[in-house]
Structures are given as structure tokens and as C-alpha cells.
Amino acid sequence: MGFSMTDLHSALTDAGVTAVFDGDIIAAHSVDHARLVEPGRAAALVRARSTEEVSAVLRLASELRVPVVPQGARTGLAGSATAVDGAILLDVSGMDAIVSLDPVDRTAVCQPGVRNAAISKAAAEYRLRYAPDPGSWETSTIGGNIATAAGGMCCVKYGVTAEYVLGLEVVLASGEVMRCGRRTAKGVAGYDLARLFCGSEGTLGVITEATLKLSPIPADRLTLAAVFDTTAAAGRAVTAIMSSGAQPSLLELIDNVHLRALEDLRPMGLPVDAAALLLVAADTDPVAELAEIERLCEDAGAAEVYRATDAAEADALLESRRSAYHAMERMGTVLVDDVAVPRSRLAEALDGVAASAERHGVVIGVIAHAGDGNLHPNIVVHPEDEASVAAGRAAFDEILEMALAMGGTITGEHGVGLLKRDWLEREVDPVNLAVQRRIKHALDPLGILNPGKVLAG
């Protein structure tokens, strides 16, 4: 660093910004949920309360050439919010106001620190909701959801975060405040800069406000669970469902490792001897849709199919699915992978993960947004055992290799961050990578915004 802590403290104070310099507090804010990603030593923590304050921090950071790491709830799984050496940690989770809700235009204007679930709760008065529902929806913030282009369990029918972002207010590295996108249902004026910031992981600008699309709450929803003795049969069922024209609102796969872990966490009679369970929901014509999906599951070889008897039972099944990561954490440190493959190769990918687990002698459980071909292999390692960590990392890399070989991607929804930064250039072609670097340089010429994340070098 070319400055002292005293210099930084004075500069922030002169800019009207209150910062925290306590080492223990900074250390507590230096990591997200990406295990085994080593944080750097940040210089200060700023808890921003306004766009003006974010702008002041970035103007100062540009003048001093100090790196800035934007943060929200730090629920990310790729290391995007992890501290880097000498950085200002810019926490915007305190900017948590829902500025407006418009039931006619079906929009919500939110500051970045608003929790995902809070938007739907506020919109429910108008029979509306914010559809994207990542597993961390009760704790993750909308700014982080946008920055990581978060997915969720309902993506199979309703799509991902980027499809619900109409407009953004963004503070650039220079401290300039830019508005992009729109508030109208339609609009194609100029380049779609709002979409550019979706998935940028804080490397292009800091989101300080978002205009979001709301959608009607479905009138009804029914849920079923199909039990399979083999992953191949479960894969056949997914292929049959998605090729039938059916539109499930949720199509999740839970493997045997997770079924056992979930039952240990919260006993509810899950089929712990099954190879896989498909959790399916429908909400348009749910009785007819689930009847057809049930038939397809049985034709694919389902050992049993259960219908949820009421909304409480259905919610319990969904809540159990949301607890999968925490259930696995009881077994050790979880290295979370996140790959997507063509739906037609889902069963093959599941078998590939199982083979990798056996080959490296590690426990790997898989949950999947099966309707999207998006798998989350959760690899259990023990950090105090170097051999365990090495085996887990080897399996992690092998799964990424497999996904690319199948025509898939290294990340379906968690992002690149630090965890997969070196893999990005193995997925995209050299021209694509060069264009991404030019965009980064155009918006952040000094390289102060979340340096080292997403793009290597």
C-alpha cells in the first residue's frame, strides 16, 4: 500500500465517511460462505447508508488507488465478497429500504440491502411476488442476488434474477452515479447496460438501487415427491418431464447423501434408502399437471410417488430442500460446486460425480435444479487434514472438467468469484475473454473494484 492507515482514516473522515478500523470486526467481514477461499487483510470497513456515501468512498478510492470490495449479506459461495489486501470493505447491507411498490406497473424499487424474501412479503398485499428464490432468500440481499446473477428453485419455470431486473442505479469506480435500464414494461433504447451488471460480482460498479419486475402469486400449487432406486431412472424422469411440454414450477433432485443428511438434521420420514428423490411442484393447472408428471415418473421407473396432502406438508418438503447445505455442514467443511449440463446428460453427470467421489475417497452429495440441468455437488472436506482438502479440490476440478466436456458451464448460478477464476478462460474463447477484459478496463481503468475476482490478471 502506498498510504498509511492514518492517511486512509483522515481521507475518509475528510470525505464525511465513517469507517471501522478494528481488526477483529474487519476480519469478521472478510469472508463469505465460500469455504477454503483465503481472505486478504482489508484496511477498513465502511457501512454505507446512501448512494452519496458510496460515491464518496469510490471517489476517494480512485484518488488513493485503494481497492474496494462491495459486500451485502456475504451469503455468496464463490468468494466474490472475500477481502483482498489493503481493501476498503464497502458494506451496503444497511441500505435496506423498499423505496416503492407499484401494483399497476408491477415493479418494486429497492435499495441493495433489501432481503430477497422481504420483497415478496411486501408485495403480497397486491397478490404479487418477486419470483427468483435462491436458497438463501431469507438472508441474501437483492444487491448481492443481482451482482451474482442468482438463480433458485423456481428458475425452471420463472427464470433467473437477470430476467427480473428492469433498471439499476450504479456507482462507477470514478464515483459517478449512473442510471441504466428503465421502469417501463418494454424499452430498447441503447445498449442493455443494466443486464451487463447482472453477474458482474462488483467488478464493474456498485449497485445502489434496483427496479425489479414483480409477477402474480400463483393461485394454487401442488407438490409431489418421486422416489427412485437409481440415478439413471431419476434422470430419465427429468428428461421425460421436460420433453413432454409440462411446465413444473419446481423440479429438484436430492441424492441419497443429502437425503440422509437432511433426515439427520430434521427427521421427517425422508426415504433414506433411495438413490434419489425428485421434488416437483406445479402451479398453473396443478391437478392435471401433476397427474401427467406422476405418470411420467412411474414410466421412468419411480419406486414410489407421494403427493403432498396439504400446503403445510408441501412447505415442509421445500424447507427441507433449502436446508441441504446446512445439513451437509454437519459432516465437515463443504466445498460447494455449481455446474450446469444439458438436461439430457443429467443422469450421466450424476454418475460422473459419484465416480469422482469414489475415485478420490471423498463424500460428495448432489442436489440439483434438475429442470435446469444445474447440479450442486457438495464436497465434504476436513481442513485440518491436508490429504482430505487435496482430495476434495481434485474432485472439485474433475467435476468442472466433466461439465465442460459435456457442453456445460463451470457455474450455473453461484458465480466465478475467486473460487473459479482460473476456470473462466477454459470455458470462454480468447476473443470473448479479451472483450470482457476491455469492458472491465473501460469501467474500472485503475482496477480498484473487487480486484482479482472473476477475471485473472
pLDDT-derived band at 320, boundaries 50, 70, 90 = confident
**Boundary-marking domain end, from 21, 56, 91:** 91
Give the integer Cα–Cα distance in Å for 318 and 357.
27
173 and 229 share one domain: no
Q: Are residues 199 and 107 in the same domain?
A: yes
- What is the number of structural domains in the chain? 3
With a cut of 60, say whether residue 60 has pLDDT above it: yes
Is 278 among the domain residues? yes
Domain endpoint, select from 91, 125, 145: 91
Longest distance between any two alpha carbons in the chain, whole Å: 70
Residue 456 lies inside a defined structural domain of this protein: no
Q: What is the pLDDT of residue 312?
A: 80
DSSP single-letter state for residue 30: S
Which pLDDT score is estimated for 322?
87
Host domain of residue 16:
5-91
Q: What is the pLDDT of residue 298?
A: 97
Do 82 and 69 meet the contact criterion of CB atoms below 8 Å apart? Answer: yes
Q: What is the mean pLDDT of residues 202-226?
A: 95
Residue 457's pLDDT is 67
Closest CA to 119 of 101, 95, 94: 101
| 80 and 110 part of one domain | no
Q: List pLDDT tens digits, range 246-296.
A: 999 999 999 999 999 999 999 989 999 999 999 999 999 999 999 999 999
Q: Are residues 148 and 263 both part of a single domain? A: no
Least confident of 42-56, 177-191, 224-238, 299-313: 299-313
pLDDT in tens, 75-92: 999 999 999 999 999 999
Average pLDDT, the chain: 94
Residue 347 lies in a domain: yes
Q: What residues are paired with 68 via a beta bridge?
A: 88, 449
pLDDT digits (tens, 9 = 90+) for 322-355: 899 899 999 999 999 999 999 989 999 999 999 9
| DSSP-assigned letters across all residues of 294-325 | HHHHHHHT-SEEEE-SSHHHHHHHHHHHHTHH
Nearest 10 degrees: Cα torsion 285, 287, 293, 295: -140
Domain boundary residue, one of 360, 385, 405: 405
d(CA 134, CA 140): 8
- Give pLDDT tens digits for 156-170: 999 999 999 999 999
Q: For position 315, what pLDDT does the model report?
A: 82
Residues 120 and 263 both lie in one domain? no
> Are 229 and 204 found together in one domain?
no
Residue 38, SS3 per DSSP: coil
Residue 119 lies in a domain: yes
What would the grid cell of residue 416 be? 466465478
Q: What is the CA radius of gyration of the chain?
A: 22
Same domain, 265 and 348: yes
Would you state the pLDDT for residue 283?
Answer: 92
Q: What is the CATH number of the domain that holds 161?
A: 3.30.465.10
**Cell digits of residue 23:** 481488526
CATH assignment at residue 296: 3.40.462.10
**Would residue 207 count as lying in a domain?**
yes
What are 399-423's pLDDT values in tens digits? 999 999 999 999 999 999 999 999 9
Amino acid symbol at 109 = V
Residues 230 and 212 in one domain: no
Q: Is residue 411, in this structure, part of any structural domain at all?
A: no
If asked whether residues 196 and 274 sit together in one domain, one would say no
CA distance 89 to 126: 37
Residues 206 and 123 in one domain: yes
Q: What is the pLDDT of residue 329?
A: 93
Mean pLDDT of 117-142: 95
**What's residue 3's pLDDT?**
61
Residue 453 falls within a domain, yes or no? no
Q: Provide mean pLDDT across the span 21-40.
A: 94
83 and 151, same domain (yes or no): no
pTM, entire model: 0.94
Q: Quick one: pLDDT at residue 193?
A: 97
Among 94, 96, 80, smallest CA distance to 30 is for 80
Q: Which residues contact 343 (CB under 8 A, 6 or more apart)?
A: 238, 239, 242, 370, 371, 372, 373
Has residue 209 got a pLDDT over 90? yes
Considering the domain architecture, whether residues 264 and 318 belong to the same structural domain is answered as: yes
The residue with cell 470455458 is 427
Residue 220 has pLDDT above 90, yes or no: no
